[in-house]
């Protein structure tokens, strides 16, 4: 085994925990199966034999935890060749891959992981295989690839509701950051396990909670010396402000230092003047029950940052707002907020931002939840370790102008919230999704540029119903738009171009696409799978493989331009009959139109496409 692999598998208790969780995943999944087997064992001796294989799998898993990779590999191979249960065979494959990774047999381990990914669909097994691939990257020193893979796993399996896989992936992500001595993102990964995937004392969440406390104390100890140094240099130490009064922090050559949570009580106002600099310790932040007015200027912005700004230990709690709805809104203008856990977190009351910059947020740049309201104009949220903006649990969000970019995961996520307006915002280069609506959320996305995100540009999921209008959705590395699992987006007057796929409707998403251009996408313009969207008055042209691909759906097509695609205008890969009358195919000649369609006329097992009457000219002029 290589030196790098030894270091990865043996750098301390955290990695023992991660290794145990990873290989333990193989066993946890089948405990319910084992219970059923035990119940039947007295009736069928073959069942008792399978129980012995289950125990052998558990033993092989324990051997991987202990670093005895050769013996673990031998035992997993025995189970794989002798068991009659398909699920055990695949689990043995997974243990064998982990063992080969430990032996430094990276190519063979990768082949096994890929075989698992191409095998029967099982989110726990495939998720564990993908985590194994990320650890292969790590063992070979490919840090960025490992982080990208784990972040993608978390996003993918969270959307599937697979909390078990998300927890494992976050544990591994914490391990990667531990290896790199990046305590802040490590703490963020552990905190997310504790907050989003709670469990018992002995669960992943319970163990993560204990490590979270240790990491937080280490960060705090690193910052104590920095705080003392700054205070010795004459910084203003703020421990409390008077209740019921207005306190003003003026611009000064020396910064202000806040090392614990500073409370602005109800009836109090904290004013911060242009050019003021406030530095926070790891436990520092401001919680506002009264009102905060931070009015900087373009020439003299206010700066809120960690006392360890520019250092790997940069971290502070951020601004938390929980004031009465009757209180006047808090104001942030020309404020730079750097490396906060959550830059602006509003759970009650209103906060208005203008021309602010939130850079490197550890968790969220902006978050509105429950009775919280955020209005942000011309505000930039960039370079975060998780999500740029989150609105959830009924929060209210208005974004007008500005940019949300370069987040490690999703740019903007809307969960269980309907009062959402996102206008004229650039959402780009986020490493997962651009905008993700879920859980019956709604709102309006207007005149935005959703470009170059590493997965789908905009997702409507789980009964969400956003209205998307006048947007440019371009160059995303998966689909431009995906309506998934009853996502009911209404998309109109938008340009969806140069993505891997244009628009994907799947699993009961009877959404609407109208008055839009779907062009120059790498694979297909529109794909329908178990969905029946309405597609009307659109241009679906110049896509590189096919215009519209139907997979067990039944799209309603009316008055569209469907000409000019490099492959078929419409490919029906289902048994459904598709009524595609009143569309333009580049010709009104039935013989020529038939050449642009693949359906039951080409394969008798497929449904046919009817196109009578065809239009005699393009309904969307000037396209």
Residue 74 sits in a domain whose CATH number is: 1.25.40.10
How many other C-beta atoms lie within 10 A of the C-beta of residue 107? 8
User: Quick one: tokens of 445?
Assistant: 């996305």
pLDDT at 244 over 60: yes
| pLDDT at position 47 | 63
Q: Which domain holds residue 613?
A: 433-623
| pLDDT(89) > 90 | no
* Residue 467: both structure tokens together: 């209205």
pLDDT at 179: 83
Q: Give a yes or no: residue 8 inside a domain.
A: yes
Q: What is the pLDDT of residues 294-325, one digit of tens each?
A: 999 999 999 999 998 665 557 899 999 998 77
Q: What pLDDT does residue 186 have?
A: 84
**How does the average pLDDT of the chain come out, rounded?**
87
Number of domains in the chain: 2
Helix (H, G, I), strand (E, B), or coil: what is residue 48? helix
User: Closest Cα partner for 556 from 500, 511, 605?
Assistant: 511
Domain boundary among 139, 165, 180: 180
Please identify, among 163, 180, 197, the residue that sits at the C-terminal boundary of a domain.
Answer: 180
How does 179-216 read in b/e, with b if 16+ C-beta sit within 10 Å?
beebbbbbbbbbbbbbeebebeeeebbebbbebbeebb
- How far apart, in whole angstroms, are the C-alpha atoms of residue 199 and residue 192? 12
pTM of the model: 0.84
- Residues 511-521: pLDDT tens digits? 999 999 999 99
The strand pair at 335-338 and 285-288 is best described as unpaired
pLDDT at 42: 42
**Quick one: which of 327, 373, 329 has its CA closest to 347?**
373
At 311 the pLDDT is: 55
Task: Please give the helix or strand (H or E) that residue 441 lies within, else none.
Answer: none
**What is the pLDDT, as a whole number, of residue 199?**
58
* C-alpha–C-alpha distance, residues 463 and 447, integer Å: 23
- Residue 198 has a pLDDT of 66
Asked if 136 and 101 count as a contact pair (C-beta separation under 8 A), the reply is: yes
Q: Is the pLDDT of residue 464 over 80?
A: yes
pLDDT at residue 3, as a whole number: 29
- What pLDDT, on the 0 to 100 scale, is given for residue 296? 98
CB count within 10 Å of CB 491 equals 29
Q: Which range is least confidently modeled, 52-61, 99-108, 535-544? A: 52-61
Quote the tokens at residue 43.
């009736």
Q: Residue 4 above 50 pLDDT?
A: no
> Is 172 contained in some domain?
yes
Does 38 reside within a domain?
A: yes
Of residues 478, 427, 431, 424, the one with CA closest to residue 451: 427
CA–CA separation, 507 vs 494, rounded Å?
23
CA distances to 11, 163, 165, 340, 344 from 193, in Å? 21, 9, 11, 19, 21
CA atoms within 13 A on the CB side of 445: 33
Q: Please check whether residue 449 lies inside any domain of the structure.
A: yes
Q: Is the dihedral of CA 219, 221, 222, 225 positive or negative?
A: positive
- Three-class SS string for 349-382? EEEEEECCEEECCCCEEEEEEEEEEEEEEEEEEE
Burial bucket for residue 528 (CB in 10 Å: 0-12, 13-18, 19+): buried
**Is there a domain that residue 30 lies in?**
yes
Least confident segment among 172-176, 229-233, 459-463: 229-233
* pLDDT score at 563: 96
Would you state the pLDDT for residue 35? Answer: 39
Residue 349: pLDDT above 60? yes
| pLDDT at residue 291 is higher than 90 | yes
CA distances from 7 to 142, 302, 563 (A): 14, 44, 58
Contact between 447 and 423 under an 8 Å Cβ cutoff? The reply is: yes
Last residue of a domain, one of 149, 180, 211: 180
Least confidently predicted of 70-79, 143-152, 199-208, 380-389:
199-208
Exposure b/e, 554-584, CB count within 10 A at least 16 = b:
bbebbbbbbbbbeebbbbbbbebebebebbb
Average pLDDT over residues 608-623: 88
Q: Does 185 reside within a domain?
A: no
- Comparing C-alpha atoms, which of 543, 542, 545, 569 is closest to residue 557? 569
| pLDDT beyond 60 at 18 | no
Token pair, residue 586, equals 């580049």
Domain annotation covers residue 99: yes
Region of poorest pLDDT, from 16-20, 551-555, 556-560, 590-594: 16-20
- Residue 220 forms part of a structural domain: no
Rg (CA), the chain: 28
3-state DSSP assignment of residue 30:
coil
pLDDT of residue 33: 36
Q: List Cα–Cα distances, 99 to 63, 102, 139, 170, 462, in angstroms.
A: 9, 5, 13, 21, 38
The answer to which of 19-33, 380-394, 428-442 has the lowest mean pLDDT is 19-33
* Of 554, 594, 602, 601, the residue nearest 578 (C-alpha): 554
Q: What is the DSSP string of 289-357?
A: SSEEEEE--SSS-EEEEETTTTSTT--EEEEEEE--TTSPPEEEESEEEESEEEEEEEEEEEEEEES-E
């Amino acid at each position: 085994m290589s030196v790098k692999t030894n270091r990865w598998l043996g750098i301390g208790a955290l990695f023992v925990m991660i290794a145990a969780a990873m290989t333990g995943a193989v066993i946890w999944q089948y405990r319910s199966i084992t219970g059923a087997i035990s119940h039947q064992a007295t009736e069928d001796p073959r069942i008792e034999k399978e129980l012995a294989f289950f125990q052998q799998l558990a033993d092989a898993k324990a051997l991987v935890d202990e670093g005895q990779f050769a013996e673990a590999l031998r035992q997993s191979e025995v189970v794989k060749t002798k068991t009659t249960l398909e699920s055990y065979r695949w689990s043995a494959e997974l243990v064998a891959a982990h063992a080969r990774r430990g032996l430094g047999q990276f190519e063979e381990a990768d082949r096994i992981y890929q075989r698992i990914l191409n095998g029967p669909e099982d989110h726990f097994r495939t998720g564990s295989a993908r985590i194994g691939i990320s650890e292969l990257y790590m063992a070979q020193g490919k840090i960025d690839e490992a982080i990208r893979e784990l972040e993608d796993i978390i996003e993918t399996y969270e959307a599937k509701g697979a909390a078990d896989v998300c927890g494992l992936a976050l544990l591994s992500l914490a391990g990667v950051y531990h290896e790199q001595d990046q305590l802040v993102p490590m703490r963020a990964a552990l905190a997310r396990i504790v907050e989003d995937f709670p469990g018992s004392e002995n669960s992943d969440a319970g163990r993560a909670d204990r490590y979270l406390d240790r990491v937080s104390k280490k960060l705090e100890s690193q910052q104590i010396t920095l705080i003392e140094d700054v205070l010795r240099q004459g910084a203003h130490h703020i421990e409390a402000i008077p209740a019921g009064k207005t306190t003003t922090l003026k611009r000064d050559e020396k910064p202000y230092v806040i090392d614990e949570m500073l409370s602005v009580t109800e009836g109090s106002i904290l004013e911060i003047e242009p050019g003021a600099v406030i530095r926070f310790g790891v436990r520092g932040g401001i919680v506002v029950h009264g009102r905060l007015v931070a009015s900087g200027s373009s020439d003299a912005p206010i700066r809120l940052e960690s006392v360890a700004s520019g250092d790997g230990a940069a971290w502070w709690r951020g601004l938390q707002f929980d004031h009465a709805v009757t209180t006047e809104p808090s104001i942030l203008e020309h404020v730079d907020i750097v490396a906060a856990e959550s830059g602006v977190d509003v759970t009650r009351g209103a906060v208005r931002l203008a021309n602010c910059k939130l850079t490197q947020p550890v968790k969220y740049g902006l978050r509105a939840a429950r009775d919280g309201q955020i209005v942000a104009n011309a505000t930039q949220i960039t370079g975060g370790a998780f999500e740029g903006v989150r609105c959830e649990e009924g929060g209210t969000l208005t974004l007008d102008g500005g940019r949300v970019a370069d987040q490690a995961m999703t740019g903007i996520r809307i969960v269980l919230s309907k009062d959402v307006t996102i206008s004229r915002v650039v959402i780009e280069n986020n490493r997962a999704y651009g905008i993700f609506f879920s859980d019956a959320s709604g709102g309006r996305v207007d005149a935005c540029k959703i470009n170059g995100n590493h997965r789908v540009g905009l997702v409507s999921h789980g009964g969400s119903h956003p209205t998307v209008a006048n947007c440019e959705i371009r160059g995303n590395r998966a689909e431009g738009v995906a309506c998934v699992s009853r996502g009911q987006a209404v998309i109109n007057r938008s340009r969806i171009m140069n993505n891997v796929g244009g628009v994907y409707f799947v699993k009961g998403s009877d959404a609407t696409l109208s008055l839009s251009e779907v062009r120059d996408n790498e694979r297909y313009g529109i794909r329908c799978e178990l969905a029946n969207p309405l597609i009307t008055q659109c241009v679906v042209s110049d896509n590189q493989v096919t215009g519209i691909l139907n997979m067990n759906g039944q799209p309603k097509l009316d008055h569209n331009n469907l000409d000019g695609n490099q492959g078929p205008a419409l490919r029906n890969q289902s048994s459904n009959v598709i009524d595609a009358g009143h569309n333009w195919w580049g010709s009104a000649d039935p013989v020529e139109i038939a050449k642009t369609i693949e359906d039951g006329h080409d394969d008798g097992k497929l449904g046919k496409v009817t196109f009578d009457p065809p239009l005699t000219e393009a309904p969307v002029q000037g396209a």
